[in-house]
Structure 1
Amino acid sequence: MSRQDIVRALIEHQGQLYSEEIGASIARDTPQELFHWLIGTLMLSARIDSGLAVASAAKLREAGLHKIDTILDADDDRLVEVLTEGGYTRYREVTTGYLKDTAAWAKEEFDGDLRVLRDRAEDADALLEALQGAKGLGQTGAAIFARETQLVWDMLYPRADGPALDAARDLGLPTEAEALRDLAGGRETFTRLIAALTRAALDGPADEVKAAA
């Protein structure tokens, strides 16, 4: 099997974006979808199973608590209740505080539009640093946000780091973003490849990926 076969198998079988899984359509590049992805990355960056983080971020959307104003207006107990429904129990009280603080930060600093943060940043490093103004979002969370937002933000593309590169190395693929981009063949397929490699690192490669490798 060739590297191209491995890439195709990864994209086909493990290429769902985490943002898609929580219900955020970041391809639309709208303030609401980007904010939902931001709080999703906040939850994914905690020391908790990624599946529980995804389920809980999706539950917030189901409850209408993925928007800045609804989060700010919500009772803390209601936020804790929804996080609990998603299985996010370990850090639910702390995360409730983070959600409130992040919503307030996004509203006060950027009028609820994270594209303003992007436009103010001089480069990708400055953008990642600015993202860490969100309460509870450190370097890991900023990197997670960038990993999929590169689908629509030119400043971040192409980007590959973290566990995705570990999986690439294990599967015999290049570990340079540009080389992986060339194998993927396009911006969306590259973004999906990075998501797939991240899933392969965290959950193990799909059987089809193993067969291709």
Structure 2
Amino acid sequence: MSPTQRERVRDLLDHHGRTYADEAGITLRDKPAPLYQLLTLVTLFSVPISAGVAVAAARELFAAGWRTPEHLLGSTWQQRVDALGRGHYRRYDESTATALQESAEHLRAAWGGDLRRVRDDAEGDADGIQERIARFPRIGPTGAAIFCREVQQVWPSVRPFFDQRAVDGARDAGLPTDVGRLAALVHDDDLARFAAALVRRELT
């Protein structure tokens, strides 16, 4: 890594190196509850709405106590709409309140409420994980890519993962766009933060 690249990477991590999961108040671990919380956040991201609003809405849902699929399914549709509204999640609040219920139901029915089973079923393969996550209500391919970008923090088999938005951010920052070369710029433990930083830079 050239001195110039080293400075760019350090600047990116210093100024933008925070995962969206962390911003939403998720202490991401390889456990069912935080992985479900990440899925919730990704569901909120999967409409044309700002990242800041999606994060604020996620925080409201979690503050209401809906950090597991069981707790979410114990809420009413109106309670979810109201929580999303407190996070200023407008226009999509009613449809998203429904999608969150459908997602929790799908997680329980298809995967026993544990997203680690998705990873295991895909044998840890990032493409396979994306394919399965994309089947959740509302999420689709773009949301599945966001999930993998964030979950690589606790699922080493997904690393290195840079979705198209992160690669575009790397290009604009004058960094390599080849995934292997890009990953070599940071330690493995920083890959999720680095990918998030590239996206955040692209959005500023």
What TM-score comes out, normalization by structure 2 length?
Answer: 0.95
**What is the deviation of 1:46?**
1.0
Match of 1:89 in 2: 90
**Helix, strand or coil: the match of 1:43?**
helix
**What is the deviation of 1:155?**
2.7
Where structure 1 has 5 or more consecutive residues not aligned to the other structure, the ranges are 205-213
Match of 2:66 in 1: 65
Match of 1:156 in 2: 158
Match of 1:7 in 2: 9
Q: Deviations over 1:139-178 (max 9, x none)?
A: 0000000001111213311011222111111111001221
Question: Is contact 2:32-2:115 (8 Å) kept?
Answer: yes
Q: Do structure 1's residue 174 and structure 2's residue 179 form an aligned pair?
A: no
Structure 1 segments (4+ residues) deviating >3 Å: none
In structure 2, C-alpha distance between the alignment counterparts of 1:10 and 1:25, rounded to whole Å: 22
In structure 2, C-alpha distance between the alignment counterparts of 1:182 and 1:75, rounded to whole Å: 47
| Higher RCO structure (Cα 8 Å, ≥6 apart) | 1
In structure 2, C-alpha distance between the alignment counterparts of 1:197 and 1:176, rounded to whole Å: 14
Amino acid across the alignment from 1:96: A
Amino acid across the alignment from 1:61: F
Q: Do structure 1's residue 198 and structure 2's residue 203 form an aligned pair?
A: no
What TM-score comes out, normalization by structure 1 length?
Answer: 0.91
- Identity fraction in percent: 38
Question: Is contact 1:160-1:176 (8 Å) kept?
Answer: no
**Helix, strand or coil: the match of 1:196?**
helix
Amino acid across the alignment from 1:141: G
Match of 1:209 in 2: none
- The 10-residue stretch of structure 1 (138-147 or 119-128) with the greater mean CA deviation from structure 2: 119-128
**What is the deviation of 1:133?**
2.1
In structure 1, C-alpha distance between the alignment counterparts of 2:197 and 2:185, rounded to whole Å: 14
**What is the deviation of 1:77?**
0.5
**Helix, strand or coil: the match of 1:160?**
coil
Match of 1:208 in 2: none
Correspondence list, 1:1-213, <5 A = 2-26=4-28, 28-122=29-123, 123-184=125-186, 186-202=187-203, 204=204
Alignment RMSD (CA, Å): 1.1
**Helix, strand or coil: the match of 1:190?**
helix
Question: Is contact 1:45-1:144 (8 Å) kept?
Answer: no
- The 10-residue stretch of structure 1 (60-69 or 112-121) with the greater mean CA deviation from structure 2: 60-69
Where structure 2 has 5 or more consecutive residues not aligned to the other structure, the ranges are none
Amino acid across the alignment from 2:75: A
